[in-house]
Amino acid sequence: MDLQEERGAGVAAELKGTFVRADVTSEDAVVAAVEAAVAQAPLRGLVNCAGGGTGGRTIGRDGAYASAHPLDRFAATLALNVVGTFNVIRLAATAMSRNEPDADGGRGAIVNTASVAAFEGQVGQAAYAAAKSGIVGMTLPIARDLAPAGIRVNTIAPGTFETPPMLAMPDGARAALAASVPFPRRLGRPAEFAALAAHLLVNPYVNGETVRIDGGIRMQPK
Ligand SMILES: NC(=O)c1ccc[n+]([C@@H]2O[C@H](COP(=O)([O-])OP(=O)(O)OC[C@H]3O[C@@H](n4cnc5c(N)ncnc54)[C@H](O)[C@@H]3O)[C@@H](O)[C@H]2O)c1
């Protein structure tokens, strides 16, 4: 499920899966995507990845109200990350709650994507950090809500990964980020994120937790 039809269809073909175009903040589109999954097999796993946001400082330099951080951009970042993640969770978990339970009573598992910015937001990251810490903050209460249905919920907080937004950065900026990672001194690879997501989906005893995957990085103010 993504907005990018062509690339989504390409990945689905590679995985012999199905792509559904859906805006994660739309109830109708996400219900249609969940129904498309359920039509193939019981829905037992969900990985929420859609997210992002633009940067910007809280106030401008000229003392003008108009220079303050645009409120619509702040709200849009919360809508995509927090509202979108919650929307997909509530609808996918509804379908999962109808699954036959496994030996533990488990019916499904959910993995969300936050960011280390939830803990160490940098200058200009007020909106993104607020949004990602919203995902961290809702992980435990949702895990508690879904416990009676046998559905686990965990969140991954990635450091800096080699994905399209990072690859679009100037080489120098990317190299500086890589140099600030204690070990291994490089950006993370998507397959390393995927390995953690897969583990959180299958390990029945991890629940309500946020796990960093960041090579030990701790972001500085700038
Ligand atoms: N790359 C990193 O270093 C890094 C670090 C920390 C957290 N993250 C988080 O990881 C996740 C994946 O990011 P990425 O780096 O792969 O970037 P990305 O931009 O490649 O992936 C985000 C995806 O979300 C999709 N999307 C955006 N709005 C959507 C919407 N309303 N409905 C459905 N899909 C939508 C985009 O089309 C895109 O494919 C994001 O939540 C991001 O905040 C990334």
pLDDT digits (tens, 9 = 90+) for 116-153: 999 999 999 999 999 999 999 999 999 999 999 999 99
Known active-site residue 205: no
- Choice among 74, 86, 128, 193 that is catalytic: 128
CATH of domain 43-213: 3.40.50.720
Q: Which atom of ligand 1 is nearest to the CA of 114?
A: 7
User: What is the Å distance from ligand 1's center to 118 Cα?
Assistant: 15
Domain boundaries, the chain: 1-41, 43-213
On whether the CB atoms of residues 85 and 52 are closer than 8 A, the answer is: no
User: What is the Å distance from ligand 1's center to 210 Cα?
Assistant: 18
User: What is the Å distance from ligand 1's center to 107 Cα?
Assistant: 27
Nearest of 201, 204, 78, 197 to residue 213 by alpha carbon: 197
Nearest residue CA, atom 21 of ligand 1? 50
Nearest of 27, 29, 31 to residue 5 by alpha carbon: 29
Q: Spell out the SS3 assignment of 174-218.
A: HHHHHHCCCCCCCCECHHHHHHHHHHHHHCCCCCCCEEEECCCCC
- pLDDT tops 90 at residue 4: yes
pLDDT at 162: 96
- Its pTM stands at 0.98
On whether the CB atoms of residues 204 and 148 are closer than 8 A, the answer is: no
Q: Where is pLDDT greater, at 167 or 69?
A: 69
Q: Which atom of ligand 1 is nearest to the CA of 80?
A: 31
The dihedral through the CA atoms of 76, 156, 107, 36 has a sign that is positive
User: What is the Å distance from ligand 1's center to 47 Cα?
Assistant: 12
pLDDT at 54: 85
Residue type, 39: A
- How far is C-alpha 3 from the geometric centre of its chain's CA atoms? 15
Give the residues surrounding ligand 1 with Cβ less than 6 Å away. 2-4, 23-25, 49-52, 80, 84, 113, 115, 158, 160-161, 163-166
**What torsion, rounded to 10 degrees, do the Cα atoms 111, 114, 115, 119 define?**
-120
- pLDDT tops 90 at residue 41: yes
- How far is C-alpha 148 from the geometric centre of its chain's CA atoms? 24
